C-alpha cells in the first residue's frame, strides 16, 4: 500500500509539473514532436544531461558522451521545474510529446563530444495518457 501511495504521489507531481511547463512560454530555436522517453540522465555540477529515445533529429545522429540535450542551472530560467519533470518522467517511464531546444552552435552539424555541441533543452510537453 505504501508503494502504491508513493507512485500515486509521483504521478500527481509529474502531472502538475507537466501541465505547468506545457502552459509556460519560452523562446526556443527548434522543436520536435514525437514520443520521447528519457533513457538516461547524468547530473553534474552545472546541470543535467539527457539521453532521449529516440534521439532528437536535430542531433543528426550524434551525441555528446551518449547524451542529446542538457539543462544548465546557470542558463535555464526554469531549471528546477525542468529537472523535477525529467526525473519524474525517467522514474515513471513516461514520455514527452514535444521537445523545445536551442539549436546547435554555428558550425556544428551534429551533437558531438566537442564543447557546447549539444542541444539546450528549454521546454517539454506532456499529454494526459
What per-residue confidence (pLDDT) applies to 127?
Answer: 77
Domains and CATH numbers, the chain: 2-125 (2.40.50)
pLDDT for the residue 90: 94
pLDDT tens across the length of the chain (129 residues): 554 444 544 444 444 444 444 433 334 489 999 999 999 999 999 999 999 999 999 999 999 999 999 999 998 889 999 999 999 999 999 999 999 999 899 999 999 999 899 999 999 998 766
Contact 122, 26 (CB under 8 A): yes
**12 in Cβ contact with 116 (< 8 Å):** no
Give the pTM: 0.76
Q: Where are the beta strands (DSSP E) in 1-127?
A: 30-44, 47-53, 69-72, 95-102, 119-125
pLDDT of residue 23: 37
> Contact 35/93 with Cβ under 8 angstroms?
no
Which residue bears the cell 549539444? Answer: 118
Asked, as a colleague might, if the bond just before 119 is cis with ω within 30 of 0, I would say: no
Amino acid at each position: 500500500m505504501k508503494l502504491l501511495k508513493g507512485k500515486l504521489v509521483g504521478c500527481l507531481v509529474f502531472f502538475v509539473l507537466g501541465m505547468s511547463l506545457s502552459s509556460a512560454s519560452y523562446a526556443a530555436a527548434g522543436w520536435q514532436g514525437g514520443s520521447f522517453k528519457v533513457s538516461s540522465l547524468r547530473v553534474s555540477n552545472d546541470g543535467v544531461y539527457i539521453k532521449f529515445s529516440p534521439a532528437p533529429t536535430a542531433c543528426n545522429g550524434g551525441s555528446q558522451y551518449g547524451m542529446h540535450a542538457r539543462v544548465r542551472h546557470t542558463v535555464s530560467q526554469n531549471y528546477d521545474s525542468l529537472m523535477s519533470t525529467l526525473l519524474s518522467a525517467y522514474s515513471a517511464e513516461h514520455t514527452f510529446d514535444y521537445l523545445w531546444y536551442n539549436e546547435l552552435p554555428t558550425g556544428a552539424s551534429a551533437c558531438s563530444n566537442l564543447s557546447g555541441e549539444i542541444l539546450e533543452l528549454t521546454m517539454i510537453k506532456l499529454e494526459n495518457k
